[in-house]
Amino acid sequence: MSHWIPANSILPYIQTLGLLVTLCVIIRKLRAQPSPWAALPRIPILGTLPYVTGPNFPLQCSGWRRKYGQIYSYKPGLAQEILVVCGARLARELFITNSQSFQHRHCPFFYARELKLEDHFTPLLDSSPAIQTQRRLIYQAIKASITRGKGAAVHRASLGLLQTLRSHANDRRSPVLDLQQVIADAVGLSALSLSYGFDWTIKDLRACREAAVLFAEVPKYFAFFNWINEPSVAFPFLTRLLGTRTQRIRESATQAAQNLLESYQGLFALTMEKVRNEGVGSLDDSVARILLSDDDEDIPVYRQSILCGSAATAAFSTTAGTVHLLVGCLAAYPEWQTKLQSEVDRLAKTQDPLNSSNGLPGFVSDKDHEDACLTWAFIDEALRYYPIFPINTRVANQDYTLHDGRTIKTGQILFTVPAAINRDPELYEDPDTFDPTRFLNNDTGSAKLEKGMKLNWPKYRHVSFGSGRRSCPGSELAEYSVFVLLTQLVHCFEVKYEDDASHAIGIRPELVGLENHFSIPKIKFIPRRDLSHL
């Protein structure tokens, strides 16, 4: 016997349920206090989610700024309301002038414990002793590496990159160039040297199993931070409703964290072996060398391996993405590439041969950096226009009253959107145009002083490295690495798209986890001079 219920008998129940939901929503709105924040439109249960269209959420936030102002509320599904900060003046007030009120990060993932964020991934930690120790060590290692070591690891990495590009350009039978992998090898070499003190070449790097494991696991680990595509962020009840899925993800997160931690320990074991055999002085200037040279540092070996490893992980991922972006910008904006070639070639003629690496311009002195104004402006403009981290998170750790009297309550989650702030018309004229000269002094052609800018953002001329107490501790090394790689690449090669039609495609940002990855059409490298000496 078939047991079914006619549709016409169910319909009244559905209509009644719909009416009750509507009444509940109306009553809730009538009882609710008016919000002090401009708000995106919302739909019951779904919140603001139906209005998120297209693949680039950060740029959509920038568009909403024109309608809703510098700060507005965004509510994903049933999750807590989020305040989105898109204006430069307000971001400065919150995250620089009053950064002590917004020190904490927001981590909405149900598998955060399995990722062991509190154990080792310091970029997401609060201002704990662990993160302060790592930030101090990174600052010390970077300063020593650049000033005393003259950036030796960066130059070794650059040489390896150029050698690979030369071989590919000279051999028409070579397979298709995996540009991202070539860049990852070069940047990975520099990151491992800064962290562990290895004086390796790229050949050594490729032969190291522990390094291969680390760089294979980093993207797998970061993939867990893709909060836009994780439904439980907006609908927390799904973690219980979809128990099998929840358990599977937790197991995968546990394995990813374990693999990453084991690679940290394996690389640190290689460092310890080198120190036992050759002494701590055999290490390059690095986090490991500082740790092992300082008798006052009472840090367990396990924690030392984590400090070194997380420094390598952070330096590798973001710097590789930035170099890949800049190569794409050279091809996308050939008129600026020509101007960079003229500047770099002029500086190369004035180089002291003792400051060169295999005949390449070294650009190791402050004077060289000051003279390369257009190159620095090009780097700044690329980072402004295409920020690697398009959205950052903060949590208010105390009540804070804005200059206009509105109060941000303790526990409030905030998104700060560099993708929007970097295009704030209050800061930049014609912000949607790629124009490096915005960072140059129109009268002298030299780089503008930061105090001459409208915003006077500390340290940087854009917000892509973050702000306040949570700004990127490795930004100086990232800028130095990018500068060396870019100048030597421009000196040796012309960078072009493989076909002219690619200019219509251009550079497309894609949000992957916490970072922007950039889709770039196929590129070719044409030698500008004899590179047989490399």
CATH number at residue 244: 1.10.630.10
Q: What is the mean pLDDT of residues 170-189?
A: 82
Q: Does a structural domain hold residue 67? A: no
pLDDT at 89 over 80: yes
Q: Kindly report, residue by residue over 240-283, the tens digit of the pLDDT.
A: 999 999 999 999 999 988 998 899 999 999 999 999 999 998 98
Q: Does a structural domain hold residue 322? A: yes
The phi, psi pair for 445, rounded to 5°, reads 80, 0
pLDDT at 351 over 60: no
Domains identified in the chain, total number: 1
How confident is the prediction for the chain on average, in pLDDT?
79
Q: Does a structural domain hold residue 179? A: yes
Q: What integer pLDDT is reported at residue 248 of this predicted model?
A: 95
State yes or no: 472 annotated in a binding site: yes
Domain extent, residue 197, equals 117-388+437-527
Q: What is the dihedral of CA 35, 39, 43, 45, to 10 degrees?
A: -60
Q: Does a structural domain hold residue 104? A: no
Q: Does a structural domain hold residue 381? A: yes
Q: How far apart are CA 284 and CA 196, in angstroms?
A: 8
Environment class of 25 (CB within 10 Å of its CB; exposed 0-12, middle 13-18, buried 19+): middle
5-14, 163-172, 188-197: least confidently modelled range: 5-14
Q: Does a structural domain hold residue 261? A: yes
Count how many residues are written for the chain.
Answer: 534
Q: Does a structural domain hold residue 452? A: yes
Which comes out higher in pLDDT, residue 276 or 359?
Answer: 276
Q: Kindly report, residue by residue over 311-350, the tens digit of the pLDDT.
A: 888 778 788 889 999 999 999 999 999 999 998 888 876 5
Which comes out higher in pLDDT, residue 339 or 95?
Answer: 339
Q: What is the mean pLDDT of residues 356-371?
A: 52
SS3 104: strand
Q: Does a structural domain hold residue 66? A: no
Look up residue 237 and give its two tokens.
Answer: 């009840």
Strands (E) across 99-152 are located at: none
